[in-house]
Amino acid sequence: MAQRKHRIAVIPGDGIGKETTPEGLRVLDAAARRFGFDLELTHYDWSCETYARTGKMMPDDGMDRLRDSDSIFLGAVGWPGVPDHVSLWGLLIPIRRQFDQYVNLRPCRLLPGAKSPLADRGPADIDFYVVRENTEGEYSSIGGRMFPGTEREFVSQQTVMTRIGVDRVLRYAFELAMTRRRKKVTSATKSNGITFTMPYWDERFAEMAKNYPEVTTDQFHIDILCAHFVQHPDWFDVVVGSNLFGDILSDLGPAVAGSIGIAASANINPEKTFPSMFEPVHGSAPDIAGKWIANPIGQIWSGAMMLEHLGEKEAADCILATIERLLAEGGPRTRDMGGQAGTVDVGKAIAEAVARG
Ligand code: NAI
Ligand code: MG
């Protein structure tokens, strides 16, 4: 019987993305051998260097080339000299939008040996997911500016929530909770201040909850929810928010769980109509790029999320368990985690442990 095969588009991008992506691939390769599947990789050098050369972050047929892959594995995009809005809108945003990656998913989990900025918190206290709506809501392009430069000047930008858009991200959050031990979903709202869209969000949340009687629910206004992330991270299991609230929580969540170098993320099209994209939370880190000291764990963990999406759950679980075990046993770690190891040392240690089992 032919082995299962997954086609992966690889975009290392800029800066430390070029250093962490190979380590992500090293671990993916070890997992593929051990768990018996093939990864067919296609490499793209699209980056700010491409922009400097061609005036574009990716070629005109870039999206068509990516469309044939099962997933996209990305490093980081952005480099001094190219404005961030150019690199972002030239590569990441078209992928997220045109491939309808309507879920942005970030695990927030305190790994052993990672130092949380919160005092007296251990791995058992911080283990939740932030699910962010990634296509509509507050980040709409409906609005404008009138009477510019005059006393009557005004600006307006509208939040757009559709039933389809709200329901599908809520459903994803509940389905995710069903796979977890605690089975709890928390909704981020602000229906006391934002009086049309947020009550609608709350209404759809209550409606969706009826389909999942086993799931416990609660909801908080975004302001106090941010405080609870810091004071009571142990309350949370799956937290779902609109585009803006999810954006805020999806940076705060990984921050309470320690170094940015370990944080992973996924942009998911759950129906698999289009490829999904997996990338670390961090950027290209120009301050440490070229020194080969970047922590590759965020990239490697993103690779594990990709395997889970592709149906290789056993391999995904193995990678995460291996990272946790190596950190707990005092394995090599980069400087951001208080060690001296280089990017490649950490990647090799994890890959070898995954291969050994
Ligand atoms: P950054 O995440 O690149 O760096 C922030 C700080 O964290 C730096 O001090 C850096 O050295 C450190 N850091 C980041 N990743 C690390 C790792 N793996 N190991 C150890 N330390 C690490 O954010 P910054 O500096 O704001 O952005 C730099 C560039 O990256 C910009 O052009 C920005 O637009 C881009 N960026 C791209 C993202 C993406 O591709 N999704 C996300 C965030 C920023
Ligand atoms: Mg953000």
Span 122-133, pLDDT tens digits: 888 999 999 999
| Together in a domain, 26 and 57 | yes
β-strand partners of 147: none
Q: How far is the CA of 150 from the centre of ligand 1 (A)?
A: 39
Spatial separation of the C-alpha atoms in residues 25 and 347, rounded to whole Å: 9
Q: Could you give the percent of the chain with pLDDT greater than 90?
A: 91
Task: Report helix angle 343-356 to 313-328, nearest 10.
Answer: 120
Distances (CA, A) of 87 to 48, 54, 80: 7, 13, 10
Contact 281, 74 (CB under 8 A): no
Structure tokens at 27: 């671990």
Q: How many CB atoms neighbour CB 331 within 10 A?
A: 18
Around ion ligand 2, residues with a beta carbon closer than 5 Å are: 247, 251
For the stretch 154-192, what's the b/e string if a residue is b when 16 or more beta carbons lie within 10 angstroms of its beta carbon? eeeeebebeeebbebbbbbbbebbeeeeebbbbbbbbbe
Contact 206, 139 (CB under 8 A): no
| Together in a domain, 235 and 264 | no
Contact 77, 47 (CB under 8 A): yes
Q: How far is the CA of 159 from the centre of ligand 1 (A)?
A: 29
Q: Report which protein residue has its CA nearest ligand 1's atom 23.
A: 283
Rg (CA), the chain: 21
Spatial separation of the C-alpha atoms in residues 195 and 207, rounded to whole Å: 18
Spatial separation of the C-alpha atoms in residues 116 and 351, rounded to whole Å: 25
Spatial separation of the C-alpha atoms in residues 175 and 291, rounded to whole Å: 42
As a whole number, mean pLDDT of residues 179-202 equals: 97
List Cβ<8 Å contacts ≥24 apart for 312-315: 312/4, 312/6, 312/31, 312/35, 312/37, 314/35, 315/31, 315/32, 315/34, 315/35, 315/37
| Together in a domain, 228 and 167 | yes
Spatial separation of the C-alpha atoms in residues 67 and 101, rounded to whole Å: 13
Structure tokens at 106: 């970030």
| Together in a domain, 278 and 342 | yes
Coil, helix or strand for 2? Answer: coil
Position 308 pLDDT exceeds 80: yes
Considering its fold, how many domains does the chain have in total?
2
Spatial separation of the C-alpha atoms in residues 12 and 18, rounded to whole Å: 5
Atom of ligand 1 nearest to the CA of 286: 28
Read off the pLDDT of residues 78-119 as tens digits, 9 standing for 90 and up: 999 999 989 999 999 899 999 999 999 999 999 987 888 898
Read off the pLDDT of residues 196-225 as tens digits, 9 standing for 90 and up: 999 999 999 999 999 999 999 999 999 999
Position 3 pLDDT exceeds 90: no
Structure tokens at 93: 């945003």
| Together in a domain, 265 and 230 | no
Name the residue range of residue 340's domain.
Answer: 1-126+260-357
User: What CATH number has the domain bearing residue 100?
Assistant: 3.40.718.10
Read off the pLDDT of residues 9-61 as tens digits, 9 standing for 90 and up: 999 999 999 999 999 999 999 999 999 999 999 999 999 999 999 999 999 99
Q: What is the mean pLDDT of the chain?
A: 96
Ligand of minimum distance to the alpha carbon of 281: 1
Q: How far is the CA of 249 from the centre of ligand 2 (A)?
A: 8
- Ligand 1 neighbours, Cβ below 6 Å, are 16, 76-79, 84, 92, 260-261, 279, 282-288, 294-295, 298, 334, 336
- Residue 253's closest CA among 128, 138, 75, 356? 128
| Together in a domain, 22 and 106 | yes
Atom of ligand 1 nearest to the CA of 288: 11
| Together in a domain, 243 and 270 | no
Ligand of minimum distance to the alpha carbon of 132: 2
| Together in a domain, 147 and 226 | yes
Position 192 pLDDT exceeds 60: yes
259 confidence band (pLDDT: 50, 70, 90): confident
**Residue 52 backbone phi and psi in degrees, to 5:** -60, -35
What is the β-pairing status of strands 264-268 and 276-280?
A: antiparallel
As a whole number, mean pLDDT of residues 135-147 equals: 93
Ligand of minimum distance to the alpha carbon of 283: 1
Q: How far is the CA of 146 from the centre of ligand 1 (A)?
A: 36
Give pLDDT, residue 112: 86
As a whole number, mean pLDDT of residues 247-274 equals: 93
Ligand of minimum distance to the alpha carbon of 47: 1
Give pLDDT, residue 141: 85
| Together in a domain, 247 and 290 | no
2 confidence band (pLDDT: 50, 70, 90): low
| Together in a domain, 274 and 252 | no
Domain-ending residue, one of 223, 256, 289: 256
The pTM assigned to this predicted structure is 0.94
Atom of ligand 1 nearest to the CA of 299: 18
Read off the pLDDT of residues 49-79 as tens digits, 9 standing for 90 and up: 999 999 999 999 999 999 999 999 999 999 9
Give pLDDT, residue 113: 79
